[in-house]
Structure 1
Amino acid sequence: MKTNNKLVVITGASSGFGLEMAKEFSKSGYPLLLLARRIEKMQSLNLPNVICKKVDVTDKEQFETAVRDAEAIYGKTDLLVNNAGVMLLGNIASQDTKEWKTMLDVNVMGVMNGMQVVMNDMKERKSGTIINVSSIAGLQPFENHAAYCASKFGVTGLTRVARGEMSPFNVRVLSIMPGAVQTELLSHTTDQNIIDGYKDWQNAVGAVNITANDVAKTIKYAYELPQSVSLREIIITDTMQDS
Protein backbone atom coordinates (compact mmCIF):
# COMPACT_ATOMS: atom_id res chain seq x y z
CA MET A 1 0.00 0.00 0.00
CA LYS A 2 1.34 3.44 -0.87
CA THR A 3 2.02 5.95 1.87
CA ASN A 4 -0.29 8.94 1.86
CA ASN A 5 2.32 11.68 1.90
CA LYS A 6 3.31 11.74 -1.77
CA LEU A 7 2.23 14.44 -4.21
CA VAL A 8 -0.72 13.73 -6.49
CA VAL A 9 -1.27 16.04 -9.49
CA ILE A 10 -4.71 16.12 -11.12
CA THR A 11 -5.59 18.09 -14.24
CA GLY A 12 -9.13 19.10 -15.11
CA ALA A 13 -9.84 19.20 -11.39
CA SER A 14 -12.65 21.77 -11.45
CA SER A 15 -15.43 19.34 -12.39
CA GLY A 16 -16.39 15.75 -13.14
CA PHE A 17 -13.80 13.03 -12.56
CA GLY A 18 -11.13 15.52 -11.51
CA LEU A 19 -13.25 17.12 -8.81
CA GLU A 20 -14.25 13.74 -7.41
CA MET A 21 -10.64 12.53 -7.47
CA ALA A 22 -9.59 15.58 -5.50
CA LYS A 23 -12.13 14.73 -2.80
CA GLU A 24 -11.20 11.03 -2.67
CA PHE A 25 -7.43 11.51 -2.55
CA SER A 26 -7.78 14.28 0.03
CA LYS A 27 -9.76 11.95 2.32
CA SER A 28 -6.69 9.72 2.45
CA GLY A 29 -4.33 12.56 3.28
CA TYR A 30 -2.53 13.04 -0.02
CA PRO A 31 -1.08 16.48 -0.76
CA LEU A 32 -2.59 17.65 -4.03
CA LEU A 33 -1.85 19.94 -6.93
CA LEU A 34 -5.14 20.69 -8.66
CA LEU A 35 -4.97 22.19 -12.14
CA ALA A 36 -7.77 23.64 -14.26
CA ARG A 37 -8.80 26.85 -15.94
CA ARG A 38 -11.60 27.50 -13.40
CA ILE A 39 -9.64 27.99 -10.20
CA GLU A 40 -12.61 29.14 -8.10
CA LYS A 41 -14.32 25.74 -8.32
CA MET A 42 -11.20 24.01 -7.01
CA GLN A 43 -10.63 26.53 -4.24
CA SER A 44 -14.25 26.21 -3.09
CA LEU A 45 -13.52 22.62 -2.01
CA ASN A 46 -11.43 24.00 0.89
CA LEU A 47 -9.32 20.85 1.06
CA PRO A 48 -6.20 20.65 3.27
CA ASN A 49 -2.69 20.41 1.82
CA VAL A 50 -3.88 21.48 -1.62
CA ILE A 51 -2.43 23.88 -4.14
CA CYS A 52 -4.85 25.12 -6.82
CA LYS A 53 -3.45 26.63 -10.00
CA LYS A 54 -5.15 28.12 -13.02
CA VAL A 55 -3.40 26.26 -15.83
CA ASP A 56 -4.05 25.59 -19.50
CA VAL A 57 -2.58 22.12 -20.12
CA THR A 58 -1.79 23.04 -23.71
CA ASP A 59 0.77 25.52 -22.37
CA LYS A 60 3.66 23.26 -21.36
CA GLU A 61 5.70 26.01 -19.67
CA GLN A 62 2.72 27.03 -17.53
CA PHE A 63 2.01 23.37 -16.73
CA GLU A 64 5.60 22.64 -15.72
CA THR A 65 5.93 25.77 -13.58
CA ALA A 66 2.86 24.77 -11.55
CA VAL A 67 4.21 21.26 -11.00
CA ARG A 68 7.68 22.44 -9.97
CA ASP A 69 6.22 24.97 -7.52
CA ALA A 70 4.15 22.24 -5.85
CA GLU A 71 7.09 19.83 -5.80
CA ALA A 72 9.18 22.44 -3.99
CA ILE A 73 6.67 22.14 -1.14
CA TYR A 74 5.52 18.52 -1.20
CA GLY A 75 8.29 16.64 -2.97
CA LYS A 76 8.34 14.98 -6.37
CA THR A 77 5.13 13.98 -8.13
CA ASP A 78 4.27 10.35 -7.41
CA LEU A 79 1.02 10.34 -9.37
CA LEU A 80 -0.05 12.43 -12.34
CA VAL A 81 -3.62 12.03 -13.54
CA ASN A 82 -4.02 13.55 -16.98
CA ASN A 83 -7.75 14.09 -16.77
CA ALA A 84 -8.35 17.44 -18.51
CA GLY A 85 -10.38 17.00 -21.67
CA VAL A 86 -13.13 18.37 -23.85
CA MET A 87 -15.83 16.60 -25.86
CA LEU A 88 -17.15 18.56 -28.83
CA LEU A 89 -19.31 16.13 -30.78
CA GLY A 90 -19.98 16.74 -34.46
CA ASN A 91 -20.26 15.34 -37.94
CA ILE A 92 -17.03 15.28 -39.95
CA ALA A 93 -18.62 16.92 -42.99
CA SER A 94 -20.01 19.91 -41.11
CA GLN A 95 -18.18 20.39 -37.80
CA ASP A 96 -16.19 23.59 -37.29
CA THR A 97 -12.53 22.63 -37.71
CA LYS A 98 -11.64 24.88 -34.78
CA GLU A 99 -13.41 22.34 -32.57
CA TRP A 100 -11.21 19.57 -33.97
CA LYS A 101 -8.09 21.54 -33.06
CA THR A 102 -9.37 22.32 -29.57
CA MET A 103 -9.95 18.63 -28.84
CA LEU A 104 -6.64 17.48 -30.26
CA ASP A 105 -4.74 20.21 -28.41
CA VAL A 106 -6.36 19.60 -25.01
CA ASN A 107 -7.01 15.87 -25.16
CA VAL A 108 -3.72 14.80 -26.77
CA MET A 109 -1.11 17.56 -26.50
CA GLY A 110 -2.19 18.32 -22.92
CA VAL A 111 -1.57 14.70 -21.96
CA MET A 112 1.80 14.62 -23.69
CA ASN A 113 2.82 17.85 -21.97
CA GLY A 114 1.97 16.41 -18.57
CA MET A 115 3.81 13.18 -19.17
CA GLN A 116 6.96 14.96 -20.29
CA VAL A 117 6.90 17.18 -17.19
CA VAL A 118 7.13 14.20 -14.80
CA MET A 119 8.62 11.29 -16.77
CA ASN A 120 12.34 12.00 -16.36
CA ASP A 121 12.11 12.42 -12.58
CA MET A 122 10.10 9.21 -12.31
CA LYS A 123 12.66 7.34 -14.42
CA GLU A 124 15.48 8.55 -12.16
CA ARG A 125 13.60 7.49 -9.02
CA LYS A 126 12.43 4.24 -10.64
CA SER A 127 9.00 4.86 -9.23
CA GLY A 128 5.84 6.77 -10.03
CA THR A 129 2.52 6.44 -11.81
CA ILE A 130 0.89 8.25 -14.71
CA ILE A 131 -2.81 7.68 -15.33
CA ASN A 132 -4.28 9.04 -18.55
CA VAL A 133 -8.04 9.41 -18.77
CA SER A 134 -9.02 8.16 -22.21
CA SER A 135 -12.51 6.93 -23.12
CA ILE A 136 -14.34 3.94 -24.52
CA ALA A 137 -14.34 6.22 -27.58
CA GLY A 138 -10.59 5.60 -27.64
CA LEU A 139 -11.28 1.94 -28.43
CA GLN A 140 -14.32 1.96 -30.71
CA PRO A 141 -16.13 4.38 -33.02
CA PHE A 142 -19.34 6.24 -32.19
CA GLU A 143 -21.54 8.32 -34.48
CA ASN A 144 -20.77 12.06 -34.37
CA HIS A 145 -17.63 11.37 -32.32
CA ALA A 146 -15.06 11.50 -35.14
CA ALA A 147 -12.65 14.12 -33.81
CA TYR A 148 -13.29 13.09 -30.22
CA CYS A 149 -12.54 9.47 -31.14
CA ALA A 150 -9.41 10.63 -32.96
CA SER A 151 -8.22 12.39 -29.82
CA LYS A 152 -9.03 9.52 -27.47
CA PHE A 153 -7.61 6.84 -29.80
CA GLY A 154 -4.54 9.08 -29.69
CA VAL A 155 -4.48 8.99 -25.89
CA THR A 156 -4.85 5.20 -25.91
CA GLY A 157 -2.00 4.81 -28.38
CA LEU A 158 0.43 7.21 -26.76
CA THR A 159 -0.27 5.66 -23.34
CA ARG A 160 0.70 2.26 -24.69
CA VAL A 161 3.91 3.66 -26.18
CA ALA A 162 4.76 5.52 -22.96
CA ARG A 163 4.14 2.34 -20.96
CA GLY A 164 6.73 0.57 -23.07
CA GLU A 165 9.23 3.37 -22.51
CA MET A 166 8.66 3.57 -18.76
CA SER A 167 8.13 -0.02 -17.61
CA PRO A 168 11.90 -0.82 -17.61
CA PHE A 169 12.18 1.96 -15.00
CA ASN A 170 9.42 0.54 -12.76
CA VAL A 171 7.09 3.42 -13.66
CA ARG A 172 3.44 2.62 -14.32
CA VAL A 173 1.56 4.25 -17.18
CA LEU A 174 -2.13 3.36 -17.07
CA SER A 175 -5.22 4.41 -18.98
CA ILE A 176 -8.81 4.41 -17.82
CA MET A 177 -11.54 4.37 -20.44
CA PRO A 178 -14.94 5.43 -19.12
CA GLY A 179 -18.15 4.97 -21.03
CA ALA A 180 -21.07 7.35 -20.65
CA VAL A 181 -21.03 9.07 -17.24
CA GLN A 182 -23.05 12.06 -16.07
CA THR A 183 -20.51 14.92 -16.20
CA GLU A 184 -20.21 18.33 -17.84
CA LEU A 185 -18.60 16.87 -20.97
CA LEU A 186 -21.76 16.74 -23.05
CA SER A 187 -22.40 20.45 -22.40
CA HIS A 188 -19.23 21.27 -24.38
CA THR A 189 -20.98 20.21 -27.61
CA THR A 190 -22.41 23.12 -29.62
CA ASP A 191 -24.86 21.17 -31.82
CA GLN A 192 -28.16 20.88 -29.93
CA ASN A 193 -29.46 18.12 -32.21
CA ILE A 194 -26.46 15.97 -31.30
CA ILE A 195 -26.95 16.71 -27.60
CA ASP A 196 -30.60 15.69 -27.85
CA GLY A 197 -29.69 12.51 -29.72
CA TYR A 198 -27.07 11.61 -27.11
CA LYS A 199 -29.62 12.08 -24.33
CA ASP A 200 -32.14 9.95 -26.23
CA TRP A 201 -29.53 7.21 -26.45
CA GLN A 202 -28.86 7.42 -22.71
CA ASN A 203 -32.56 7.12 -22.00
CA ALA A 204 -32.84 4.14 -24.35
CA VAL A 205 -30.02 2.43 -22.47
CA GLY A 206 -31.97 2.91 -19.25
CA ALA A 207 -30.31 6.10 -18.06
CA VAL A 208 -26.74 6.26 -16.80
CA ASN A 209 -26.33 5.42 -13.14
CA ILE A 210 -22.54 5.23 -12.96
CA THR A 211 -21.10 8.40 -11.40
CA ALA A 212 -17.93 10.45 -11.64
CA ASN A 213 -17.19 9.36 -8.09
CA ASP A 214 -17.25 5.72 -9.18
CA VAL A 215 -14.58 6.51 -11.75
CA ALA A 216 -12.54 8.51 -9.21
CA LYS A 217 -12.56 5.64 -6.73
CA THR A 218 -11.46 3.22 -9.46
CA ILE A 219 -8.52 5.45 -10.38
CA LYS A 220 -7.50 5.72 -6.74
CA TYR A 221 -7.73 1.95 -6.34
CA ALA A 222 -5.48 1.36 -9.36
CA TYR A 223 -2.92 3.80 -7.99
CA GLU A 224 -2.86 2.39 -4.47
CA LEU A 225 -2.01 -1.13 -5.60
CA PRO A 226 1.69 -2.01 -5.10
CA GLN A 227 4.07 -0.38 -7.58
CA SER A 228 4.70 -3.82 -9.07
CA VAL A 229 1.04 -4.16 -10.07
CA SER A 230 -0.08 -2.40 -13.24
CA LEU A 231 -3.74 -2.28 -14.25
CA ARG A 232 -2.69 -1.23 -17.71
CA GLU A 233 -6.09 -0.45 -19.18
CA ILE A 234 -9.38 -0.17 -17.34
CA ILE A 235 -12.69 0.02 -19.21
CA ILE A 236 -15.43 1.21 -16.88
CA THR A 237 -19.06 1.69 -17.92
CA ASP A 238 -22.56 1.58 -16.56
CA THR A 239 -23.63 -2.06 -16.36
CA MET A 240 -26.48 -1.33 -18.78
CA GLN A 241 -24.23 0.21 -21.44
CA ASP A 242 -23.57 -2.57 -23.93
CA SER A 243 -21.63 -0.62 -26.54
Structure 2
Amino acid sequence: MTARIALVTGASSGIGEATARKLHALGYVVYGAARRVDRMEQLAADGIRTIAMDVTDDDSLRTAVDRILSETGRIDVLVNNAGYGSYGAVEEVPLDEARYQFEVNVFGAARLIQLVLPGMRTQRSGTIVNISSMGGRIYTPLGGWYHGTKFALEALSDCLRLETKPFGVDVVVIEPGSIQTEWGDIAAGNLRKVSADGPYAKRAGAMAASMASEANARRNSPPTVIADAIAKAVTARGPRTRYTAGFAAKPLITLRRVLPDRAFDALISRVTGTAV
Protein backbone atom coordinates (compact mmCIF):
# COMPACT_ATOMS: atom_id res chain seq x y z
CA MET A 1 0.00 0.00 0.00
CA THR A 2 1.31 3.44 -0.92
CA ALA A 3 2.32 5.50 2.11
CA ARG A 4 0.03 8.39 2.95
CA ILE A 5 1.45 11.92 2.77
CA ALA A 6 0.92 14.48 5.52
CA LEU A 7 1.78 18.18 5.69
CA VAL A 8 1.99 19.67 9.19
CA THR A 9 2.50 23.42 9.63
CA GLY A 10 4.06 25.00 12.69
CA ALA A 11 6.16 21.87 13.11
CA SER A 12 9.19 23.47 14.76
CA SER A 13 7.82 23.05 18.28
CA GLY A 14 4.85 22.17 20.46
CA ILE A 15 1.76 20.61 18.92
CA GLY A 16 3.16 20.70 15.39
CA GLU A 17 6.35 18.89 16.32
CA ALA A 18 4.47 16.28 18.36
CA THR A 19 2.02 15.74 15.51
CA ALA A 20 4.76 15.33 12.91
CA ARG A 21 6.41 12.71 15.10
CA LYS A 22 3.14 10.89 15.78
CA LEU A 23 2.15 10.64 12.13
CA HIS A 24 5.68 9.59 11.18
CA ALA A 25 5.49 6.80 13.77
CA LEU A 26 2.21 5.68 12.18
CA GLY A 27 3.93 5.27 8.82
CA TYR A 28 3.02 8.53 7.10
CA VAL A 29 5.50 10.37 4.93
CA VAL A 30 5.48 13.62 6.90
CA TYR A 31 6.48 17.07 5.74
CA GLY A 32 7.03 19.35 8.72
CA ALA A 33 6.78 23.02 7.76
CA ALA A 34 7.89 26.12 9.64
CA ARG A 35 9.54 29.45 8.98
CA ARG A 36 12.78 28.37 10.66
CA VAL A 37 14.06 25.14 9.18
CA ASP A 38 17.00 25.15 11.62
CA ARG A 39 14.59 24.51 14.48
CA MET A 40 13.52 21.27 12.80
CA GLU A 41 16.98 19.71 12.50
CA GLN A 42 16.11 16.92 14.92
CA LEU A 43 12.91 16.15 13.03
CA ALA A 44 14.95 15.82 9.84
CA ALA A 45 17.44 13.58 11.61
CA ASP A 46 14.54 11.35 12.66
CA GLY A 47 13.30 10.91 9.09
CA ILE A 48 10.71 13.68 8.82
CA ARG A 49 11.01 15.84 5.72
CA THR A 50 11.33 19.50 6.67
CA ILE A 51 10.29 22.38 4.50
CA ALA A 52 10.49 26.16 4.85
CA MET A 53 7.12 27.86 4.96
CA ASP A 54 5.76 31.26 5.95
CA VAL A 55 1.97 30.98 6.00
CA THR A 56 1.63 34.72 5.28
CA ASP A 57 3.65 34.47 2.05
CA ASP A 58 1.75 33.06 -0.92
CA ASP A 59 4.92 32.23 -2.88
CA SER A 60 6.18 30.27 0.12
CA LEU A 61 2.96 28.27 0.31
CA ARG A 62 2.89 27.54 -3.41
CA THR A 63 6.54 26.48 -3.44
CA ALA A 64 6.04 24.11 -0.51
CA VAL A 65 2.93 22.45 -1.92
CA ASP A 66 4.48 22.17 -5.39
CA ARG A 67 7.54 20.49 -3.90
CA ILE A 68 5.46 17.93 -2.01
CA LEU A 69 3.35 17.14 -5.08
CA SER A 70 6.42 16.83 -7.30
CA GLU A 71 8.09 14.44 -4.85
CA THR A 72 5.10 12.32 -3.88
CA GLY A 73 2.25 13.09 -6.27
CA ARG A 74 -0.33 13.61 -3.55
CA ILE A 75 -1.23 15.09 -0.16
CA ASP A 76 -3.54 13.00 2.02
CA VAL A 77 -3.52 15.00 5.25
CA LEU A 78 -3.14 18.71 5.88
CA VAL A 79 -2.72 19.80 9.50
CA ASN A 80 -3.14 23.58 9.77
CA ASN A 81 -1.37 24.14 13.06
CA ALA A 82 0.68 27.33 12.55
CA GLY A 83 -0.62 30.15 14.73
CA TYR A 84 -0.02 32.41 17.70
CA GLY A 85 -1.97 34.46 20.24
CA SER A 86 -2.18 38.23 19.87
CA TYR A 87 -3.54 39.59 23.15
CA GLY A 88 -4.30 43.16 24.12
CA ALA A 89 -7.31 45.42 24.50
CA VAL A 90 -9.28 45.72 21.25
CA GLU A 91 -8.94 49.50 21.60
CA GLU A 92 -5.16 49.33 21.88
CA VAL A 93 -4.03 46.59 19.48
CA PRO A 94 -2.87 48.28 16.25
CA LEU A 95 -4.98 47.20 13.30
CA ASP A 96 -1.84 46.12 11.44
CA GLU A 97 -1.22 43.61 14.23
CA ALA A 98 -4.88 42.54 14.19
CA ARG A 99 -4.67 41.94 10.45
CA TYR A 100 -1.47 39.94 10.87
CA GLN A 101 -3.17 37.81 13.52
CA PHE A 102 -5.84 36.93 10.96
CA GLU A 103 -3.24 36.42 8.22
CA VAL A 104 -1.44 33.79 10.30
CA ASN A 105 -4.33 32.09 12.08
CA VAL A 106 -7.01 32.19 9.36
CA PHE A 107 -5.88 33.26 5.90
CA GLY A 108 -2.70 31.19 5.95
CA ALA A 109 -4.75 28.09 6.74
CA ALA A 110 -7.37 29.02 4.14
CA ARG A 111 -4.76 29.51 1.41
CA LEU A 112 -3.16 26.13 2.11
CA ILE A 113 -6.61 24.56 1.93
CA GLN A 114 -7.12 26.16 -1.48
CA LEU A 115 -3.80 24.76 -2.68
CA VAL A 116 -4.26 21.17 -1.50
CA LEU A 117 -7.97 20.73 -2.25
CA PRO A 118 -7.69 20.26 -6.04
CA GLY A 119 -5.52 17.19 -5.52
CA MET A 120 -7.72 15.82 -2.75
CA ARG A 121 -10.82 16.27 -4.90
CA THR A 122 -9.14 14.48 -7.80
CA GLN A 123 -8.12 11.51 -5.65
CA ARG A 124 -11.50 11.71 -3.86
CA SER A 125 -9.94 11.38 -0.45
CA GLY A 126 -8.12 13.44 2.13
CA THR A 127 -8.40 14.95 5.58
CA ILE A 128 -8.02 18.62 6.45
CA VAL A 129 -7.32 19.19 10.14
CA ASN A 130 -7.68 22.74 11.42
CA ILE A 131 -6.19 23.40 14.84
CA SER A 132 -8.58 25.76 16.55
CA SER A 133 -8.67 26.02 20.36
CA MET A 134 -11.08 25.92 23.22
CA GLY A 135 -10.70 29.63 22.47
CA GLY A 136 -12.79 29.02 19.37
CA ARG A 137 -15.74 28.22 21.63
CA ILE A 138 -15.08 30.38 24.71
CA TYR A 139 -13.49 33.79 25.28
CA THR A 140 -11.05 35.36 27.73
CA PRO A 141 -10.32 38.97 28.73
CA LEU A 142 -8.18 41.01 26.34
CA GLY A 143 -8.12 38.26 23.71
CA GLY A 144 -10.58 39.71 21.21
CA TRP A 145 -8.41 39.46 18.12
CA TYR A 146 -7.08 35.98 18.98
CA HIS A 147 -10.51 34.57 19.76
CA GLY A 148 -11.85 36.27 16.65
CA THR A 149 -9.47 34.19 14.53
CA LYS A 150 -10.39 30.95 16.23
CA PHE A 151 -14.13 31.58 16.02
CA ALA A 152 -13.60 32.37 12.33
CA LEU A 153 -11.60 29.17 11.77
CA GLU A 154 -14.38 27.12 13.36
CA ALA A 155 -17.02 28.65 11.07
CA LEU A 156 -14.79 28.30 8.02
CA SER A 157 -14.26 24.63 8.87
CA ASP A 158 -17.98 23.96 9.23
CA CYS A 159 -18.76 25.46 5.84
CA LEU A 160 -15.79 23.72 4.24
CA ARG A 161 -16.95 20.37 5.61
CA LEU A 162 -20.24 20.73 3.74
CA GLU A 163 -18.45 21.75 0.54
CA THR A 164 -15.94 18.91 0.49
CA LYS A 165 -18.14 16.02 1.65
CA PRO A 166 -19.27 15.09 -1.91
CA PHE A 167 -15.60 14.70 -2.90
CA GLY A 168 -14.69 12.32 -0.07
CA VAL A 169 -12.64 14.93 1.81
CA ASP A 170 -13.07 15.16 5.59
CA VAL A 171 -12.68 18.39 7.57
CA VAL A 172 -11.87 18.08 11.26
CA VAL A 173 -11.52 20.74 13.95
CA ILE A 174 -9.19 20.13 16.91
CA GLU A 175 -9.88 22.19 20.03
CA PRO A 176 -6.88 22.09 22.40
CA GLY A 177 -7.15 23.24 25.97
CA SER A 178 -4.15 24.51 27.89
CA ILE A 179 -1.06 22.82 26.47
CA GLN A 180 2.61 22.87 27.46
CA THR A 181 3.94 25.03 24.62
CA GLU A 182 5.48 28.45 24.10
CA TRP A 183 2.02 29.85 23.34
CA GLY A 184 1.25 31.21 26.83
CA ASP A 185 4.54 33.04 27.28
CA ILE A 186 4.34 34.56 23.80
CA ALA A 187 0.74 35.67 24.26
CA ALA A 188 1.53 37.13 27.69
CA GLY A 189 4.47 39.03 26.21
CA ASN A 190 2.26 40.45 23.45
CA LEU A 191 -0.31 41.49 26.03
CA ARG A 192 2.22 43.30 28.20
CA LYS A 193 3.67 45.07 25.17
CA VAL A 194 0.29 46.39 24.07
CA SER A 195 -1.69 47.03 27.24
CA ALA A 196 0.78 47.20 30.15
CA ASP A 197 0.16 50.95 30.44
CA GLY A 198 -3.02 52.94 30.15
CA PRO A 199 -6.63 52.24 31.11
CA TYR A 200 -6.39 48.43 30.80
CA ALA A 201 -3.08 48.04 32.63
CA LYS A 202 -4.41 46.43 35.81
CA ARG A 203 -6.40 43.74 34.02
CA ALA A 204 -3.64 43.23 31.45
CA GLY A 205 -1.12 42.60 34.21
CA ALA A 206 -3.39 40.09 35.91
CA MET A 207 -4.18 38.30 32.67
CA ALA A 208 -0.54 38.12 31.59
CA ALA A 209 0.45 36.76 35.01
CA SER A 210 -2.26 34.11 34.74
CA MET A 211 -1.18 33.05 31.26
CA ALA A 212 2.50 32.74 32.16
CA SER A 213 2.19 31.45 35.74
CA GLU A 214 4.13 28.37 36.79
CA ALA A 215 1.07 27.03 38.61
CA ASN A 216 -0.94 27.02 35.40
CA ALA A 217 1.97 25.61 33.43
CA ARG A 218 2.15 22.60 35.76
CA ARG A 219 -1.51 21.78 35.04
CA ASN A 220 -1.17 22.07 31.27
CA SER A 221 -1.34 18.94 29.15
CA PRO A 222 1.60 17.78 27.01
CA PRO A 223 1.41 18.41 23.24
CA THR A 224 1.25 14.66 22.66
CA VAL A 225 -2.36 14.72 23.90
CA ILE A 226 -3.30 16.80 20.86
CA ALA A 227 -1.09 14.77 18.53
CA ASP A 228 -2.95 11.65 19.66
CA ALA A 229 -6.30 13.32 18.92
CA ILE A 230 -5.11 14.31 15.45
CA ALA A 231 -3.87 10.78 14.79
CA LYS A 232 -7.23 9.39 15.87
CA ALA A 233 -9.02 11.78 13.50
CA VAL A 234 -6.91 11.09 10.41
CA THR A 235 -6.94 7.32 10.84
CA ALA A 236 -10.70 7.04 11.48
CA ARG A 237 -12.93 5.76 8.71
CA GLY A 238 -15.49 8.41 9.65
CA PRO A 239 -13.84 11.02 11.88
CA ARG A 240 -15.81 13.23 14.23
CA THR A 241 -16.18 16.85 13.19
CA ARG A 242 -14.51 18.06 16.40
CA TYR A 243 -12.02 16.64 18.89
CA THR A 244 -11.54 18.43 22.20
CA ALA A 245 -8.54 17.55 24.36
CA GLY A 246 -6.18 19.07 26.89
CA PHE A 247 -6.48 20.69 30.29
CA ALA A 248 -9.75 22.55 31.00
CA ALA A 249 -11.07 22.40 27.44
CA LYS A 250 -14.10 20.16 27.90
CA PRO A 251 -15.36 21.65 31.19
CA LEU A 252 -14.97 25.26 30.01
CA ILE A 253 -16.68 24.59 26.68
CA THR A 254 -19.51 22.85 28.53
CA LEU A 255 -19.88 25.75 30.97
CA ARG A 256 -19.96 28.22 28.08
CA ARG A 257 -22.78 26.22 26.53
CA VAL A 258 -24.95 26.06 29.66
CA LEU A 259 -24.26 29.37 31.42
CA PRO A 260 -25.83 32.70 30.46
CA ASP A 261 -23.38 35.22 29.03
CA ARG A 262 -23.11 37.35 32.19
CA ALA A 263 -22.54 34.28 34.36
CA PHE A 264 -19.75 33.07 32.07
CA ASP A 265 -18.29 36.59 32.06
CA ALA A 266 -18.05 36.45 35.85
CA LEU A 267 -16.62 32.93 35.84
CA ILE A 268 -13.89 33.57 33.29
CA SER A 269 -12.95 36.85 35.00
CA ARG A 270 -12.48 35.02 38.32
CA VAL A 271 -10.55 32.17 36.72
CA THR A 272 -8.13 34.56 34.99
CA GLY A 273 -7.79 36.87 38.01
CA THR A 274 -9.16 39.84 36.07
CA ALA A 275 -12.41 40.38 37.99
CA VAL A 276 -13.00 44.03 38.83
Q: TM-score, normalised by structure 2?
A: 0.80
The reply on whether 1:183 has 2:181 as its aligned counterpart is: yes
The reply on whether 1:128 has 2:126 as its aligned counterpart is: yes
Partner of 2:231: 220
Q: Report the Cα distance in structure 2 between the residues aligned to 1:191 and 1:149, rounded to whole angstroms.
A: 14
Contiguous gaps of at least 5 residues in structure 2: 193-204, 253-276
Amino acid in structure 2 at the alignment position of 1:52: T
Partner of 1:197: 210
Instruction: Tell me the C-alpha RMSD between the 2 structures.
Output: 2.0
Compute the displacement of 1:210 (Å). Answer: 1.3
Q: Report the Cα distance in structure 2 between the residues aligned to 1:188 and 1:12, rounded to whole angstroms.
A: 15
- How many aligned positions are there? 236
Q: Report the Cα distance in structure 1 between the residues aligned to 2:249 and 2:16, rounded to whole angstroms.
A: 24
The answer to whether the Cα contact below 8 Å between 2:55 and 2:61 also exists between their aligned partners in 1 is: yes
Q: Report the Cα distance in structure 1 between the residues aligned to 2:154 and 2:105, rounded to whole angstroms.
A: 11
Q: TM-score, normalised by structure 1?
A: 0.90
The answer to whether the Cα contact below 8 Å between 2:178 and 2:249 also exists between their aligned partners in 1 is: no
Deviates more, 1:121-130 or 1:180-189: 180-189
The reply on whether 1:237 has 2:246 as its aligned counterpart is: yes
Helix, strand or coil for the counterpart of 2:27?
coil
Q: Report the Cα distance in structure 1 between the residues aligned to 2:37 and 2:24, rounded to whole angstroms.
A: 17
Partner of 1:151: 149
Larger Rg: 2
Helix, strand or coil for the counterpart of 2:251?
coil
Compute the displacement of 1:224 (Å). Answer: 0.7
The reply on whether 1:79 has 2:77 as its aligned counterpart is: yes
The reply on whether 1:47 has 2:46 as its aligned counterpart is: yes
The answer to whether the Cα contact below 8 Å between 1:88 and 1:186 also exists between their aligned partners in 2 is: no
Compute the displacement of 1:51 (Å). Answer: 2.5
- Per-residue displacement from partner, 1:94-148 (whole Å, max 9, x unpaired)? 2233331221110000110110011111112110000000111111221111000
Compute the displacement of 1:198 (Å). Answer: 2.1
The reply on whether 1:171 has 2:169 as its aligned counterpart is: yes
Q: Report the Cα distance in structure 2 between the residues aligned to 1:206 and 1:12, rounded to whole angstroms.
A: 21
The answer to whether the Cα contact below 8 Å between 2:7 and 2:30 also exists between their aligned partners in 1 is: yes
Question: Which protein is richer in helix relative to its size?
Answer: 2
Compute the displacement of 1:4 (Å). Answer: 7.2
The answer to whether the Cα contact below 8 Å between 2:225 and 2:246 also exists between their aligned partners in 1 is: no
Compute the displacement of 1:239 (Å). Answer: 5.3
- Per-residue displacement from partner, 1:175-220 (whole Å, max 9, x unpaired)? 10111111111232323424213245x83x7942411111011101
Deviates more, 1:229-238 or 1:146-155: 229-238
The answer to whether the Cα contact below 8 Å between 2:136 and 2:151 also exists between their aligned partners in 1 is: yes
The answer to whether the Cα contact below 8 Å between 1:57 and 1:106 also exists between their aligned partners in 2 is: yes
The answer to whether the Cα contact below 8 Å between 2:81 and 2:131 also exists between their aligned partners in 1 is: yes
Q: Report the Cα distance in structure 2 between the residues aligned to 1:240 and 1:33, rounded to whole angstroms.
A: 28
Helix, strand or coil for the counterpart of 2:79?
strand
Partner of 1:58: 56
The reply on whether 1:7 has 2:5 as its aligned counterpart is: yes
- Per-residue displacement from partner, 1:44-101 (whole Å, max 9, x unpaired)? 22122x3212211122232122122122222300000000001121111222333312
